[in-house]
A and B are shown apart, each in its own frame.
Chain A
Amino acid sequence: MRTTSFLLLLVLSGTAGDLSITRAMKQVGAVEDFRPSTILRSLLRALQYASMWIGVGLHALAFGSFLALLSWADVSFVVPASALSYAVGVVGAKLFLRETITFSRWAGVLFISFGVVFVVIG
């Protein structure tokens, strides 16, 4: 029960963190100039959005859950189980970022999720 709760916390906070950071970067707008000064300006602009800070906080929570899980569960269980993030991330992208998920993208994510599990336990 404790393992399931922490695994859910890891997957949900990590995915929510990624979605928040993505929202902030979309608000900054597409970075098309890769000069260091432009990149630095874009990153500083991203820090002005609350969603960036929320994302960083959620990532810290995910990292804490990951470390806690590793203190009693095997890494060979934790890493494949966290491949669930791929599917949850796509659902989150559809719901919160209004991305269009085509059949190809769904199928690709499913292949990748199983592939990650096979690579890690193989």
Chain B
Amino acid sequence: MSQPGLRTRTAVLIVLTVIFNSSGNLCLSIGMKHVSRVQDWSLARLAMLGRITAASGIVWVGVGLLALFFISYLLLLSWADYSYVLPASAAGYAIVPLLGYTFGGERVSPLRWSGVLLISAGVMMVGRTPVRTSTVG
């Protein structure tokens, strides 16, 4: 496949991994908030919490999204460098505060904004390097 085609395919899949991972974690976080805090580590108590967790629809949606994340991640690694995919996937750290600010009306501190800028600049720098250089495989 040509470099531009490879770059586009890689970018699309990286965006999908970021979306699947962020939304999957969000669903798990919402689902687990409904399960009471683990304070008693007895087997009976853990089994009961396991049953409550397994009955939660949002937890299963989260698990499904994280499975999709893992499959997309594996597909990416079948052709792209690990040192390309790993930093590019960090875009999620920048997107979540942006979404929180835009849609959730959250207050974002100047330090967090500078982090978003640094991550965006870093992802752009990595994105301009070749997608695949590895000779292994």
User: B-contacting residues of A (Cβ < 8 Å)?
Assistant: 18-19, 21-23, 25-32, 34, 39, 42-43, 46, 85-86, 89-90, 92-94, 96-102, 104-105, 107-112, 114-122
- A9 to B46: give the CA distance in the assembly, Å: 26
A110-B122 in contact (CB<8A) = yes
A114-B126 in contact (CB<8A) = no
Chain B residues with CB below 8 A from A121, complex form: 111
B86-A86 in contact (CB<8A) = yes
Q: Which of A18, A102, A120 contacts B82 (CB 8 A)?
A: A18
Chain A interface SS verdict (over half): helix
Q: Which of A28, A108, A114, A118 contacts B87 (CB 8 A)?
A: A108
- A117 to B90: give the CA distance in the assembly, Å: 12
Chain A residues with CB below 8 A from B108, complex form: 122
User: A-contacting residues of B (Cβ < 8 Å)?
Assistant: 1, 71, 74-75, 77-79, 81-84, 86-87, 90, 93-94, 97, 108-130, 133-137
- A92 to B75: give the CA distance in the assembly, Å: 20
Chain A residues with CB below 8 A from B86, complex form: 18, 85-86, 89-90, 93
Question: B22 to chain A: closest CB distance in Å?
Answer: 13
Q: Which of B79, B111, B122 contacts A31 (CB 8 A)?
A: B79
A25-B77 in contact (CB<8A) = yes
Question: A36 to chain B: closest CB distance in Å?
Answer: 10
Q: Which of A26, A89, A116 contacts B83 (CB 8 A)?
A: A89
Q: Which of B81, B115, B128 contacts A97 (CB 8 A)?
A: B81
